[in-house]
Amino acid sequence: MKLSLLYMDELRGFYKSKVMLFLWIGLPIIAVLFRFVQYGTTGQTISFTVVSALVVSSLAGTLASVMLSVSIINEKNRHVYELFLIRPLKRRAIILAKFLSVYTCVAIASFIAVFVGVGIDYLTTGVLSTTVINNLGQSLTISLSLVAIACAAGVLIGVAASSVLVGAILVIYGGNQISVLPLVPTLLNISNAVLCTIGLATLTTTLLLAVAIGLFERKQF
């Protein structure tokens, strides 16, 4: 079974879940409500595009990470992989298919929330300021980078953890800490922060997935 077939199979399973329904519909609604609460209580003019990116990266990243880790742990406990591995199938294809399918779904939610943010900025101000347009690329980069690391951390925790409770705790108290690494270039005002964010996210995601694949290939099912 090829990676592409596994990916499509996992994608069909994940996008039908209630969690993904929340990400695609509920997340933009929460972001909009957060924007109006923020504006009504503080009167600040912080770009809602940036607010959307932060909401997406925190909520979506955590949910995606938990969903991945719980899915892998449950499948291990139900001995699902024993059936997979009797076929001519590489173990890394299973891990990559899960990562890519969830990341695709969450990336869609990220685009929806961020572009809803652009629309709200336009409706509330009447114009699309240069700041909003300039922040769009950075906001999407931050969101997708944080979510990529969160998903990779969720996969690693799912492979390593023995129970759902342990996996959820590790995601909340470990995975979330790792996923904020791409924010460092922006917080430190480093030049070419976007490129640094992409590079740091790519390196961290690759390392986490490599460790997860290595552990998964050594497991006895």
pLDDT digits (tens, 9 = 90+) for 194-209: 788 889 889 999 999 9
Predicted pLDDT of residue 19: 74
Question: Against a cut of 0.75, is the pTM above it?
Answer: yes
At residue 45 the predicted structure's pLDDT band, cuts being 50, 70 and 90, is very low
Residue partners of 216: CB distance under 8 A and separation at least 6: 91, 92, 94, 95, 159
- 133-155: average pLDDT: 82
Query: By three-state DSSP, how is residue 17 classified?
Result: coil
Looking at the chain, the number of H-run helices and the number of E-run strands are 12, 0
- 45-58: average pLDDT: 63
Distance CA 57, CA 106 (A): 9
User: Does 131 have pLDDT greater than 80?
Assistant: no
Predicted pLDDT of residue 170: 87
